Amino acid sequence: MTQLTSDTNENVVHSHRPQPYPSKTALSDLQKAFLDLRLTMFLHYNMATYQDREWGDEHQPVDLFDPTDLDTDQWADAAVSANMQGAFLTTKHHDGFCIWPTKTGVASVLQTPKKLDVVGAYARSFRKRGLKVGLYYSILDKRNDIRHFNITPKKVQLIKDQLTELLTEYGTINMIIVDGWYAPWSRIPYTELHFDEIYCHVKKLQPDCLFTDLNGALTNSGGMFYGDIKAFEQNAGEVLPNSNPLPALGCVTLTDGWFWKLKDIDADLKSVEQVVDEWLIPQNARHCTLIVNAPPNREGRIAPNLVKRLEEIGDRWKYPGPAEPLGQAVMEPITTNNLAQGCMSHCSDHADTYGPDFVNDGNDSTTWYSPIGQKTAWLEIVFPKPTAFNRVVLTEPIGRFPDYHETRIGKYRWEALVRVKHGHSDADAAHHKYKWIKVASGTSLGPGVVPHWVERTVATRVRYSFDVKIDTAHVVEVGVYDEPGRERAY
């Protein structure tokens, strides 16, 4: 952590790195334990299973959900046969139907003929066989109108109440994968439904439960944004980088879609060679655990053709033991909104149509770049009012362009414009002056994303100055964050 030495004590809150939850286990150890799993199962099983759809139709009667032979022990046996170490079950998908008897008053198994607690049965079966228990939960909820522009405090509380049930009634949950944020098909931004509020709520209930946004890789694949594990959904075109330094997950499905459909009775499944040789082994070598979807059918069982394929995977691949140690990449996730987004911005220079607004527009597909031949450059963010922050990060588009394979940024320096008090009056602005102080620095941007924890500082501006190593340097985003500490946790 950068230590500040200046006469601006009123602007700096000296504290240790924020801890949003009282875990006794280092986050890096929890991340490593997840990577040690290597291969786990996805169980897409919900209302869509009974409608032959990928998303359930919220207008259909809930009593369609009626398994005739629910057998979660069979699910666990199938996972063991593939040498899997755990699983994730879709507790609620985008239509909003809950496969546990929720007390939140929404559509659930309580309104179905058998009133089966599928989540409870799943958790018992998998723990009985020594497997880790993970859950999937969608914040996008069509039944309850939880969607873009329609987020209200009451709906946020519904999400928190449902997560409370899942994290207090079913024992230790090793990880929750949340879906529905940020993606093009849901469009719920972190500015409407705050990630850090839900993240801290989960951590308060189960401090060692890993929590990640399935669409977090859409933010920036080079940094830990919005999740303890970096998620890459291959079926959605998200590609795990060849040189990935971060703890990650990849998810694929043996069938064509995520939920079981009638056509899957005799469908061609993904081959054993593709699963093991093209996905599992290469991804494990890049700090990535693979999650393979084997969706249960309408009986509530995994169909025979899927069971056979899982057994074949287990014949071809044996669990090799713990994963390789993680490197030195920063593993603590950014969980809050970017305070720089939408603020006034300035720069040392820019091409005609590539102004500095590209570095804080919230769009990871745009970049500002320094004019060719200029060896130094700077970017500046102007806050509308004095703003507190404790983390800064700049992202560079390494790998996005054919000739942009490594960082082009050399030495760099983060500075903050802070108020220096003179005299005794707080009311008279004439008694105050401002000065730039250094809050962080480095010699290279390395992988293109280097977050810095800094002393919590109140500033009116933030400036990033840097040396340009090769011709011109591109910047995707300037990030300024105020991450929650334990005293500010929800």
Q: Give pLDDT tens digits for 56-78.
A: 999 999 999 999 999 999 999 99
Instruction: Label residue 329 by pLDDT band (50, 70, 90).
Output: low
Work out the average pLDDT over 286-306: 98
Instruction: Label residue 221 by pLDDT band (50, 70, 90).
Output: low
User: What is the pLDDT at residue 445?
Assistant: 77
Domain with CATH 3.20.20.80 in the chain: 27-316
Bridge partner list, 86: 132
> Among all chains, which residue has been given the structure tokens 């909003």?
96
> What's the chain's average pLDDT?
91
How many C-beta neighbours within 10 Å does residue 187 have?
14
Q: Could you tell me the CA-to-CA distances from 437 to 12, 257, 415, 434, 459 in Å, in that order?
A: 11, 54, 5, 10, 10
pLDDT, tens only, 350-367: 988 899 999 999 888 899
Instruction: Label residue 331 by pLDDT band (50, 70, 90).
Output: confident
Instruction: Label residue 243 by pLDDT band (50, 70, 90).
Output: confident
Instruction: Label residue 241 by pLDDT band (50, 70, 90).
Output: confident
Q: Is there a contact between 393 and 449 (Cβ–Cβ < 8 Å)?
A: yes
Q: What is the pTM of this model?
A: 0.91
Looking only at the bridges linking them, the beta strands covering 39-43 and 248-253 are unpaired
Q: Is there a contact between 269 and 303 (Cβ–Cβ < 8 Å)?
A: no
Q: Could you tell me the CA-to-CA distances from 229 to 33, 123, 165, 219, 223 in Å, in that order?
A: 11, 22, 23, 13, 10
Work out the average pLDDT over 27-32: 94
Work out the average pLDDT over 215-243: 82
Measured CA to CA, the distance from residue 343 to residue 380 in angstroms comes to 10
Instruction: Label residue 1 by pLDDT band (50, 70, 90).
Output: very low
Highest-scoring range by mean pLDDT, 185-189, 292-296, 390-394, 426-430: 292-296
* Amino acid sitting at position 481: Y
Instruction: Label residue 205 by pLDDT band (50, 70, 90).
Output: very high
User: What is the pLDDT at residue 422?
Assistant: 64
Among residues 367, 376, 465, the alpha carbon closest in space to that of 416 is found at 465
> Among all chains, which residue has been given the structure tokens 């996008």?
140
Structure tokens at 88: 């994730």
* Amino acid sitting at position 429: A
User: What is the pLDDT at residue 160?
Assistant: 98
Q: Is the pLDDT of residue 3 over 50?
A: no
How many C-beta neighbours within 10 Å does residue 401 have?
10
Measured CA to CA, the distance from residue 222 to residue 285 in angstroms comes to 17
Domain with CATH 2.60.120.260 in the chain: 9-17+335-488
Mention the CATH class of domain 27-316. Answer: alpha beta
User: What is the pLDDT at residue 473?
Assistant: 95
Structure tokens at 211: 């929590």
Measured CA to CA, the distance from residue 20 to residue 59 in angstroms comes to 39
Q: Does domain 9-17+335-488 have CATH number 2.60.120.260?
A: yes
Among residues 44, 35, 39, 136, the alpha carbon closest in space to that of 81 is found at 39
* Amino acid sitting at position 402: P
User: What is the pLDDT at residue 364?
Assistant: 85
How many C-beta neighbours within 10 Å does residue 261 have?
20
* Amino acid sitting at position 274: Q
Across 106-115, 120-129, 224-233, 424-433, least confident range: 424-433
pLDDT, tens only, 253-267: 999 999 999 999 999
Across 70-79, 188-197, 283-292, 374-383, least confident range: 188-197
Work out the average pLDDT over 464-475: 95
User: What is the pLDDT at residue 487?
Assistant: 37
User: What is the pLDDT at residue 219?
Assistant: 66
Q: What is the distance in angstroms between the CA of the first residue and the CA of the last residue of the chain?
A: 25
User: What is the pLDDT at residue 450?
Assistant: 83
Work out the average pLDDT over 102-106: 98
Work out the average pLDDT over 114-125: 99
Work out the average pLDDT over 450-456: 90
Instruction: Label residue 217 by pLDDT band (50, 70, 90).
Output: low
User: What is the pLDDT at residue 11?
Assistant: 47
Q: Is there a contact between 261 and 55 (Cβ–Cβ < 8 Å)?
A: no
CA angle 31, 408, 454 (to 5 degrees): 50
Q: Is the pLDDT of residue 2 over 60?
A: no
Measured CA to CA, the distance from residue 418 to residue 459 in angstroms comes to 5
User: What is the pLDDT at residue 244?
Assistant: 86
Among residues 48, 46, 163, the alpha carbon closest in space to that of 104 is found at 163
What SS3 string covers the chain?
Answer: CECCCCCCHHHEECCCCCCCCCCCCCHHHHHHHHHHHCEEEEECCCHHHHCCCCCCCCCCCHHHCCCCCCCHHHHHHHHHHCCCCEEEEEEECCCCCECCCCCCCCCEHHHCCCCCCHHHHHHHHHHHCCCEEEEEEECCECCCCECCCCCCHHHHHHHHHHHHHHHHCCCCCCEEEEECECCCCCCECCCCCCHHHHHHHHHHHCCCCEEEECCHHHCCCCCCECECCEEEEHHHCCCCCCCCCCCEEEEEECCCCCCCCHHHHCCCCCCHHHHHHHHHHHHHCCCEEEEEECCCCCCCCCCHHHHHHHHHHHHHCCCCCCCCCCCCCCCCCECCCCCCCCCEEEECCCCCCCCHHHHHCCCCCCCEECCCCCCEEEEEEEEEEEEEEEEEEEECCCCCCCCCCCCCEEEEEEEEEEEEECCCCCCCHHHEEEEEEEEEEECCCCCCECCEEEEEEEEEEEEEEEEECCCCCEECEEEEECCCCHHHCC
